Amino acid sequence: MIKCRLWVTMLAALGLVATLLPGDAQAVELGDFTLNGYARQYLSFNLDDVPETSGDDKGKLSMNRQTLLLQLRGPVGPAKLTAIARFSREQITDYQGDLQDLAKSVPGGSGDFRDEYDETEIRELFLDIPIGERVNMRIGKQQVVWGETDFFQAMDVVHGYDQSWRSFLEPENEEWRKPLILTTATIDIPELDGSLQIVVRPGLDDEEDIGNTYDMFGGRWSQNGSRGFDLNGSLIPIEYHHSKGDTDDMHYGARWVGTLWDQDYSLNYYRTQAQNPVIFGAEDFPLPPLSPAPIAFIYPEIDIYGGTMSGYIPYIDSVYRFEAAFIPDNPFNYGPYSQVIEKDTWRTMIGLDTNMRLQNYIGTSSQGMLSLQIFDTWIADYKKSEGITNAFGSSEDEHTTWTTAILTFPYKNDTIIGQIVAVNDVSNGGGVFVPSVEFQFGPSWRVKTELDLFYGGTKSDTPGGATLFGSFDNSSQWFSRITYQF
């Protein structure tokens, strides 16, 4: 009965939005400006019991989230203005209420998940300014996309990702990538069949906009063993202004993109802060009540060198993708007291995309797409005896390799899109299997439903010690998303 009421409430809210917006999915014209966007409802239900709570969690609603995104574009003199705002609100479900109560019981834990999930933000606000015929400047809060990977990032390093509310399962990277205040200049050089992009981040962003954001406050995407436990509030804080990584410092880099022998390639360099935190000794920083030592999560400054290449292989009618990133002196933790050691690190990806002619086999209305990817992280000069770990206490191997496969199959003139996603941790075992289907109703409505089925991996009953997919034990869910776009 509760689930039924939630669906009725959600549909009524989206219906109200739909009555205020065009029925044919056309953007709204405001003089010289164009307004478009979407209204969206997210729902997810647990498919497993969660050991941290005392109740039966299977079948309980774990996410009830509403989002409105608005995009405004138009000319401002010779420039073009783009503004993107996003408003999200979460209704705290009974299951989340149980986790909040646990978080409140820990000294220093806030236990207020709305502070973490709700947002009212200008995600992007920038001006595109042409300078002559070859140069385009973009100034303001924006996203700069480098690289061609899914799920795991090799060269897409300019921004961090917010994985706290949906982990890494949200399919559109732009939804969970964290925009930054940047100045970029793109210079076309046709004589060399390429262009040069220069990126400068002056350090004006909010501190939490740097690096990846994880659920460390005890919510639905906390690691196995730590749901209902506010890690930052009670044990280890995040120190954003540290001598090894200060979010006020400038970041900068450049990317050359070109074509050589009909192959697309890029060369990249970026000075930034690591996307994932490392535990360092805290510096004049207030510590939580349960902190065992003067330590804090830091996003350390690093240099990243790399490149990408892609092209068409006619013999197999496929497109290949390759990228590699080299990080000299990349910091890791080791030992029982989270000491820091630096190791040269390589991240590489090889991918292959090919059309699948499935019409005669499963009756699709057009060709499907199969995308395969192998992603590897190699720690050079690795010594097992050093006991290298990540900041969350999980052991690091010399090579950590993941494979991903995405198969899409369209029906009814592409108005029904089926998809199967499989991610597997070759090094440590475990993975996630995600079958889904998305329906298109007219030009405006989209309904997607999927199963997120985690399996395997090394598990732990306490924070840390688990491998990537072991940390998602008891996290399988049924997820649905309804979108009205205009």
φ, ψ dihedrals at 231, nearest 5°: -65, -45
d(CA 259, CA 264): 5
The two three-digit tokens of residue 276, written as one number? 């994932």
| Neighbouring C-alpha atoms within 13 Å toward the C-beta of 186 | 12
**pLDDT per residue as tens digits for the range 132-179:** 999 999 999 999 999 777 677 788 899 999 999 998 888 888 999 999
pLDDT for residue 24: 54
Residue 229 has what pLDDT? 87
| Residue 242 DSSP SS3 | strand
Give residue 234's pLDDT.
Answer: 79
The string of DSSP codes covering 319-380 is EEEEEEEEEEEEEEEETTTTEEEEEEEEEEEEEEEEEE--HHHH--SS-EEEEEEEEEEEET
Q: Please tell me the least confidently modeled range out of 67-71, 226-230, 422-426.
A: 226-230
Q: Could you tell me the pTM of the whole model?
A: 0.91
What is the longest distance spanned by two Cα atoms in the chain?
67
Highest-scoring range by mean pLDDT, 286-295, 301-310, 457-466: 301-310
With the C-alpha atoms ordered 198, 156, 178, 110, is the resulting torsion angle positive or negative?
negative
| Range of weakest confidence among 52-56, 125-129, 142-146, 446-450 | 52-56
Q: Which pLDDT band, with edges at 50, 70 and 90, does 88 fall under?
A: very high
Least confident segment among 161-170, 200-209, 263-272, 322-331: 161-170
For the stretch 248-295, pLDDT in tens is 999 999 999 999 999 999 999 999 999 999 999 998 778 888 877 889
Residues of the chain above pLDDT 90, percent: 71
How far from the centroid of its chain's Cα atoms is residue 168's Cα? 5
Residue 455: exposure state from Cβ atoms within 10 A (0-12, 13-18, ≥19): middle
* pLDDT score, position 9: 46
Establish how many alpha carbons lie within 13 A of residue 470's alpha carbon, considering only the half-sphere containing its beta carbon.
Answer: 18
Residues 6+ away with beta carbon under 8 Å from 383: none
In whole numbers, what is the pLDDT of the chain averaged over residues? 90
pLDDT band at 16 (very low <50, low <70, confident <90, very high): very low
Q: Note the pLDDT of residue 415.
A: 95
What is the CB-side half-sphere exposure of residue 283 using CA atoms within 13 A?
10
pLDDT exceeds cutoff 50 at 22: no
With a cut of 60, say whether residue 30 has pLDDT above it.
yes
Q: What distance, in Å, lies between the first and last C-alpha atoms of the chain?
A: 32
Give yes or no for a contact between 205 and 181, defined as CB atoms under 8 angstroms apart: yes
Which domains occur in the chain, in start order? 2-485 (2.40.160.10)
Q: Is the dihedral of CA 220, 222, 224, 230 positive or negative?
A: negative
